[in-house]
Structures are given as C-alpha cells and as structure tokens.
Structure 1
C-alpha cells in the first residue's frame, strides 16, 4: 500500500511539472514580409535563441514556431537585416499570430577572382608559352591578304572533276544527236554572230605579247 501512494504521488508531480512546462510554451504562427512593400519573404531562418528550436518560412513566407516567455526569436535571411523578437512575459494565451516585417539590407562580398590555372606553376608555364594576340594592324593585314586571295580565286577557278565530266557528257550527247547528218551551220545563226561581235569588242582575239606563265595561288587562313 505504501508503494501505491508513492507511485500516485510521483505521477501527480510529473503531471503538474508537465502542465507547468506546457503552460510556459507559446506558439507563434504568422508570415514574414518586406517592410516597404509587404511582400512575403520565403525561406527565412527562424529560431529561438539559445535553444534547439527552429524552422524555415515556406514559399509564401508562412511559419510556425514555439517558444517560452522571455525567450528571443531570431529572423534571419540573406539580403535582409536580422530581426529579434522577445516574447513578453505578460502574455496570457498559448497561441498568437505574428506578422514580422524585415528591412532590405545590402551585403558586400569580398572580391573573388577565378583563374583557369590550378597552381602557380601552371600559371607560369601558360604565361611563358602564351602567344600575344594580333593587334589592329596585323589583323588588317591578314584581312587584306584574305580579300586579295578571294579576288584571285573568283577570277580564276580551276575546273574540277565534276565540271569536266559534265562538259564531256555534253560533247558526247551533241555528237550523238547529229550522228549520220550534217551539223548545224552557225554562219547564219544570229546568236553566234552576236557572241562573236561581243568577244571582238572585248578584245578577246588580241594576241598576248607576254608568254603564258604559270600562276601560283596561296591560301591564307581566314580570320574567325
């Protein structure tokens, strides 16, 4: 019987302690917004100072956290000034709604320079073997050389195998078309006479005083 009363007393004391602990806890549910435009701030870190309680606001800035009277709730987010909210001791209820505004803050980050070389030795090697880029004058020379080559290539285009084959097929077809009969006489063809007069005016029948020399062409790599 003695042990029965001890157990009952222990349960009552435990229940009373738990009840007092529950009465000290206060739940805050609300939203975190910007101070200037009242827009919701998502992913704000919210925690009770000097405790393990904490949460994060959702995409709409909503949150819910539990704290005790006298404790401080901290609101922290990148790009905003940190806000501290101390739970008053005079609160009588266990649930309150809270609208917490936050002021925009400017964050100055240290300068970071990213290099493509993994070590100083690789940097020295790359620096020694680096070919300096062309200046404006050198680029102009290359462009002029490329344009000169393009002009020569436009004026003189050697016949490739496909064009030579097509010309040979045309000649064979022409011979087969007039096989066994007299070929047409272009003496009375006005188109042939027009082509002859035009060639005569352009001087295509003049003799070249200089002997024919083989022409050499050089290809300069075009600029990209």
Structure 2
C-alpha cells in the first residue's frame, strides 16, 4: 500500500513537470512570434501640420522608444500590437496602438498632437521694492512733454513770428522784394518821395497809439 501510494505521487510529479515543460516553450514562442516592424512617421500639429520637434516616444511597458527630430520625424524598431506613448511639453499626451496584423515589416503614420495650454496668473512687476519708494518716485515724477503740448507751443504767435524773422528769404522772396523796390522808384521818378515825418495821417496814428499805450506794452 505504501509503495503504491509513493508510486502515484512520483508519477503525478513527473506529469506536472512534463506539463510545465511543454507550456514554457509555447509561451516563449508566443512572445517571440510578435512581428518586429520599423515604426516611423511624423508628429505634427493638427491645424497647420507643422512638425513638432523633440517629442518623447516610448513603448508602454517596455524599455524601448525614441524621440522626434527637429522636423518631427521619428523611426525605431517596435513590435506589432505595441502601445506607443507620445508626450511633449505644450501638448496633450497621446497614444497609438500598432496594428497586430501587418503585411510588411515597415509601418508609418502621421501623428497629430493637440496643443495643451497652461494659463498662469498675471504678475505685475514694479521697479520699486517698497510702497514708500514708489510714493517718493511718483511725487518726483516729471511727465514728458506730450505731442499736444508740443503742437500748442509751436503754434504760438510769438514763436511763429520769431521763426519768420530768423528765417532767411529764398530766391523768390528776394526777387519780389527787388521788383517792389524798383516799382517804388519808378513811381516817384522825377520828384522827391514824401517823408512820413511830414505826413499828417502818420502823426495822427502815432498819437492814437500813444494814447492806447502801445509803446508801454512793447516795453
């Protein structure tokens, strides 16, 4: 009885070893049977299809991957059925599953990645470290002359008169002045021109100006 029982235990152990040995090659063959493909493509933006550089590309669960170049192109060896993860700063993380049934050892895609916006709170930077320094700088502030103030200053009558007196005459003005002087000479040709000191109307205008105080204002 004891021998038969031991025999059955030994036989059962041998059967379990044979079963385990038969399963191990099958699982290994199943893992080795995954088709290796050259996975390549471009990572671009969805709106303008511009290549996204330096995108981190890795196979999920495996120590395998790559990254896109400056034009968004990538290429590395992967297995059919792998899940490929795409991540890049400024874009939402995404994944892509390589089809299991492929007729070629090369597979290419164009991967679109959506932009991920990060909104930060506004920060106002002042050149003054304390409120007291800001108050002192504000009180001592001298505003620059605006365009309106400059326009009003340039259009003042006294300023325009000074500019007109300092501005030299051009050729046309010199010719006009010369012709007027010559015409005045021909007008009084053959006789002495009148002197304003003997002009009664000029004296009347002088007296009226004196009464108005025009000469005091000029002073």
TM-score of the two chains, using structure 1 as the length reference: 0.45
Q: Between Structure 1 and Structure 2, whose CA radius of gyration is higher?
A: 2
TM-score of the two chains, using structure 2 as the length reference: 0.46
